[in-house]
Amino acid sequence: MIKIAPSILAADPLNLERDARRMMDAGCDWLHVDVMDAHFVHNLAFSPDTVRRLEEITTVPLDVHLMMNHPERYLDVFLDAGADRITIHAEVSGSLQAMLDKIHRRGAKAGLALKPGTGISAVEPFLDETDLVLTMTVEPGFGGQKLNESVLGKIAALRKIGYQGEIEADGGVKEHNLQSLIDQGLSVAVMGTALFRSDDPKAMMARLHAMG
């Protein structure tokens, strides 16, 4: 069954707890937390304190996506805050292997993310140590963008070379296009505005889970 990870970037910032609980009550599998440093992407969002407060109320894993130039400086603080999974970008400088190892030593799952223009060759050397590959289906940084369908081939290519871990898509994922992603091998869908603006997220979540 496809896992659904609502992105709290789409929540009401004045009612973050309310909206997170609404997603959990609707049956989400993970909560996705985009952390942005205003350097790697042109936006600024969320801190370890946000993760810490979410960890106090959550009943599902916290899926933390670090869109940062120097994620190695912040791994411990986000792990201490309660991140169950941390995904770093394959495009950053520094030792990806060392960062993946550190996340695993701390008992969390480790992921690598790819911008739309980055090929899977950037993560291939690390796939045996990577629990999750996040394929960005929009340019990272802002919500509400349209899904880049060219990324579907990237998901299929990861499965073709035998990758058995989670493959996640983030950006423009909607109810009408999710099946096409599942058909290529997607296992986790990050969804923002589509879920948070739904009048009945529980019913929508049931429909999404029924797709695969």
Q: Active-site positions? A: 34, 170
Residue with tokens 């009550």, as numbered in its chain? 25
Report d(CA 109, CA 41) in Å as an integer: 23
The H-assigned helical ranges of the chain are 16-26, 48-57, 75-81, 96-105, 152-160, 178-184, 193-196, 201-209
Query: Could you identify the residue written with the tokens 């035998």?
Result: 162
Which residue's structure tokens are 């201490």? 80
**What's the token pair of residue 59?**
């009943």
- Cα–Cα nearest to 171, from 196, 197, 187, 192: 192
